[in-house]
Amino acid sequence: MEMKTNLKKLPNSKSGGKGSFIKDIIRNPLSYLLILPAVIYTLIFGYMTLPYMVIAFQKFNFRTGIFNSAWVGFKNFEFFFKSASAATVTWNTVRLNTLFIFFVTVFSVSLAILLNEIKNKWFVKITQSTFLFPHFISWVIASYIIYTLFSYNYGIVNRILGFFSIEPISWYMTPKPWTPILVGMRVWQATGMSVVIYLAAIVGIDGSLYEAAKIDGANRWHQIKHITLPLVMPTVAILTLLSIGKIMYGDFGMFWAIIGDNGILYPTVDVIDTYVFRALRLSGDPSQAMAVGLFQATIGFILVYTTNKIVKKSFSEGALF
């Protein structure tokens, strides 16, 4: 959302017309010199990655490189789609991301509305700082927190179960509960940041609307229901659509830090990104990894494109491009 109108707001061209790139460079040599490092960096780490996508159709070998590796057609894709993992990782990625988006949005919109109703500035400041703090903590630290909660021997959860004379659970060997655990951690980590955004949208609502409603006898609940909520909805819709565009991408940092290569938990928490990582770094098959990555990028791009189109059509200001 932040980068939305970057490209649109500027005037499309100078009144004098554009002229060629070379002319522009000759006219502004120093400006082009200033932008050169960023351009080179983007060429290397952005554009140079594109040709390498063909290795999805090869048996890529680091020594022979992209030009001399053997072509294998769709074999790498076949391998992936015929394996049981394809359905699992794709479904897990979409399912977990959907749950993340849903719960983070519900929590952050509700909290933003509630915070907006509080007049005590000091209280708002303290609580908002507390909400935001987890955002600055890496997933590795978060995984330590999960460990203190769910460790078999010393974890708080098992101790609490023990208090009610329930047998301790070996959490790190039980796949099922990890969906709610991960959703909880996501809410913990991401809500604060969304609250900041939604609160900004709410604060921006015209105050006279509330004044008018009060005169008509609306209480605070009415005001929330009939003014705040409808007016914050466009922001909710935009942010949700933009997140749906990224639904094919699992948060590698989160999943790897918390789950790592603990295969027992894969049925519920293995996502495309961790699968690709393992194919690349653990089984050392770049072509195999690239095939899955290409599958992900293709669907991902279609989703980004479609959701952006919807955003553009319905809310002209929120579009990404």
Partner 1 sequence: MKKTGFFNIINYSLITLFSLFCALPLALLFMVSLTDEKSIIKNGYQLLPEQFSLEAYKMIFTGGHDIFNSYLVTIFVTVAGTLIAVMITAMAAYTLANKNVSHRNTLSLFFFFTMVFNGGIVPWYIICVKLGLRNNILALIIPSLLFNPFNLFLVRNYMNGIPDSLRESALIDGAGDIRIAFQIYLPLSTPVLAAVSLFYGLAYWNNWWNAIMLVEKKNLYPLQYFLLKLKSELTMLTDLQGSSAVLSTITMPTESLKMATAIITIGPIILLYPYLQRYFVKGLMIGSIKG
**Residue 161: its H or E element:** helix 156-163
Residues 258-297 that bind partner 1 (CB under 8 A): 260, 262, 264, 273, 276-277, 280-281, 286, 289-290, 293-294, 296-297
Tokens of 317: 């200001």
Residues 188-217 that bind partner 1 (CB under 8 A): 188, 191-193, 196-197, 200
Tokens of 273: 């990104």
For residues 107 and 191, is the Cβ–Cβ distance under 8 A?
yes
- Which DSSP letter does residue 168 get? P
Q: How far is the CB of 166 from partner 1 (least distance, A)?
A: 14
Q: How far is the CB of 82 from partner 1 (least distance, A)?
A: 20
Nearer to partner 1, 212 or 264 (CB): 264
Of 73-81, 108-116, 207-215, 225-233, the window that binds partner 1 (rule: CB under 8 A) is 108-116
Nearer to partner 1, 161 or 209 (CB): 161
Residues 120-159 that bind partner 1 (CB under 8 A): 123, 126-127, 129-134, 136-138, 140-141, 143-145, 147-149, 151-156, 158-159
Nearer to partner 1, 100 or 171 (CB): 171
Helices 121-132 and 84-116: crossing angle in degrees, nearest 10, is 170
Cα torsion at 186, 192, 194, 197 (round to 10°)?
-170
Residues 31-50 that bind partner 1 (CB under 8 A): 31-35, 37-39, 41-42, 44-50
Q: How far is the CB of 96 from partner 1 (least distance, A)?
A: 19
Nearer to partner 1, 70 or 118 (CB): 118
- Please identify which residue in 26, 70, 106, 118 interacts with partner 1, judged by CB under 8 A: 118
Residue of 232, 238, 233 lying closest to 312 (CA atoms) = 238
Residues in contact with partner 1, counted by CB under 8 A, come to a total of 113
Give the SS3 label for residue 219.
coil
- Tallying the residues shown for the chain, one arrives at 321
71 in contact with partner 1 (CB under 8 A): no
Nearer to partner 1, 34 or 166 (CB): 34
Q: How far is the CB of 61 from partner 1 (least distance, A)?
A: 11
* CB neighbour burial string for 116-135, b if at least 16 within 10 angstroms, e if fewer: beeeeeeeeeebbeebeebe
Q: What is the DSSP string of 12-47?
A: SS-TT----HHHHHHH-HHHHHHHHHHHHHHHHHTG
Nearer to partner 1, 178 or 256 (CB): 256
105 in contact with partner 1 (CB under 8 A): no
Residues 216-255 that bind partner 1 (CB under 8 A): 219-221, 252-253
306 in contact with partner 1 (CB under 8 A): no
Distance of CA 103 to the CA centre of its chain: 13
Residue of 235, 274, 236, 267 lying closest to 253 (CA atoms) = 274
Q: Taking the CB of residue 219, how many other CB atoms lie within 10 A of it?
A: 10
